[in-house]
Amino acid sequence: MNKPKLVLDTTYLLPFFGIEVQGIDEERITSLRRKYTLIYSALMLPELWAKVLREVERREFKKVPDQALEALQALLGGTDVRLASPTSDQLTLAAKLRLAGHKDLFDCLGYGCAVSEGGIFLSEDKGLREFLEKLGNREFDPKIVVPLAELDNRL
C-alpha cells in the first residue's frame, strides 16, 4: 500500500541542520515517515541553504557545522526525504500562483510540487492558505496546505 505524500516546507528541515524551530523537532518530523512519503522540492534548496548560512553568520561561526553538512548530504542522497526533481507542471502552477499575487516564490514552488505529487503541502504559512482561500479559484486548492498541528486530522 502506498503511503500518502507529504511535501515539506523548508521550516520542517531546519532542525536537522541544527536550527531550532519552535514547535518542530527532528523526532516529530522523522516519525512522519511511518505514515507518509516525505518529499522536498529540489527547487527549494536555495531557500534552505540561505537559511542555514544566515544562521551560521548569526552565530558567527567560521564554517558550516558538520551537522548541517551531514543533513545536506542526507537530503541530497534521499536518505529520509525524497528530493523531487522539478517538472514543467510544478513550475507552471508555481508561476500561476506567483502571478496571481502570492509574493513568496518558494511557497509557490512547494505548493506546485505538492499538487504535482498528489500530496499535502506541510506548511505553517497561514498567509499562503489565506491567499489561496481568498482566490476562490478552482485551480488552487487551499485544503492541501496543512500545518503540522492539523496533520493528524487529515488521515
Residue 155: the pLDDT is: 55
Residue 113, pLDDT score: 98
- Residue 65, CB-side half-sphere exposure with 13 Å CA sphere: 15
Write the CA distances from 109 to 22, 56, 143, integer angstroms.
24, 25, 16
Global pTM value: 0.93
Q: List domains and CATH numbers for the chain.
A: 1-155 (3.40.50.1010)
Q: Give the per-residue pLDDT at 136.
A: 80
Q: How confident is the chain (155 residues) per 10-residue block, as mean pLDDT?
A: 94 95 91 95 98 95 95 94 96 96 96 97 95 87 94 75
